[in-house]
A = this chain, B = another copy of it.
Amino acid sequence: MSLVTVGSVAFDAIETPFGKTDKIIGGAGTFIALSSSFYSKTQKIISVVGDDFPQSMLDVFAAKGIDLSGLQIKKGEKTFFWSGRYHNDMNSRDTLITELNVLEHFDPIIPASYQGAEYLMLGNLSPQVQRTVIERLEKRPKLIAMDTMNFWIDIAMDELKKTLALVDVLIINDEEARQLSGEYSLKKASKVIRAMGPKYLIIKKGEHGALLFHGENTFFAPALPLEDVFDPTGAGDTFAGGFIGYLAASDDISFINMKRAIIAGSALASFCVEKFGTEKLLEISHKDIEERIDEFISLANFDMLQTA
């Protein structure tokens, strides 16, 4: 089924304890689209770049089957740029530079060929832009998933709540869930947040895995213990991309299938952190992902005997 992704296509410059990069390709939309392309063969991106964005990367997107009709290229303007430095524990980072550039006045344009999409993934952007995309789709998609971040909870809570009321799945991390709900217990937080709109809530806990809440059901997906996390940038977006790509490809939004989609997303995210930026995602094959998923099965699988 067709999948539309909205999210930034950008430049990043990253410092980790393992090294630093010059300007490399990043952005939530980039990671989501590359990751979901392993599952979903028909997908379309809505985003904006400047004319400084390399044609070679657009060719990579196209080769992955990503429809770029909704990617605006602004003449004489510059692509969004973010630079950050990770601390030694890799769990926290400082933003060094944020240049909004083309994102500052981003007005998402929906090509006619995108209408009728059944799956919509709203990458982290201002809640107004996210909502505009929903409103510009003539037919409501079967499933709308969204990401957000602490920045929007801080400065645009009212707008965020309006957008949350329109979506099916919210994908955020544990800190954001606590901030959004005002509850420390993630179980309590999940109830508060789902009362805001999303029937499904995924809370990402980084190296501690991810939780999916829906109704009275809860699923806990492990994270693969890794020797090193080389660069966490984009891991959350890669997770979201694997999740929505898996759902769109299988066109099954049952709870059982959402669990599978979370494992697929977790497997893809575990690759993402092994190299800088999108490097690892551009190297791996579907067979690599299947093997990684087998590691997740072996990691999480147990069967209880009937005991006295």
Question: A residues bordering B, Cβ < 8 Å?
Answer: 39, 88-89, 184-188, 190, 205, 208-209, 211, 217-223, 225-229, 246, 249-250, 256, 259-260, 262-263, 290, 293, 297-305, 307
Contact = CB atoms under 8 A, between A and B. Distances in A.
Contacts of A184: 88-89
9 contacts: A185-B229, A190-B225, A208-B209, A209-B220, A217-B298, A260-B304, A262-B302, A297-B304, A300-B300
B305 A250 contact: yes
Given A208-B205, A305-B250, A220 B299 contact: yes
B299 A227 contact: no
Contacts of A304: 260, 263, 293, 297
A263 B307 CA distance: 13
A304 B50 CA distance: 41
Sorted from nearest, which 8 A-B pairs have the closest CB atoms? A220-B222, A208-B208, A259-B302, A187-B225, A220-B299, A187-B227, A260-B304, A185-B227
Contact of A250 (B188, B228, B246, B307): B307
A interface majority secondary structure: mixed
Contacts of A223: 220
A219 to B, nearest CB: 7
A74 to B, nearest CB: 37
Contact of A222 (B209, B217, B246, B290): B209
A301 B208 CA distance: 17
Contacts of A222: 209, 220, 222
Contacts of A209: 208-209, 220, 222
A282 to B, nearest CB: 21
A248 B252 CA distance: 44
A205 B225 CA distance: 13
A302 B300 contact: yes
B302 A260 contact: yes
A217 B220 CA distance: 20
Nearest to A306: B290
Nearest to A88: B184
A226 B185 contact: yes
Contacts of A190: 225
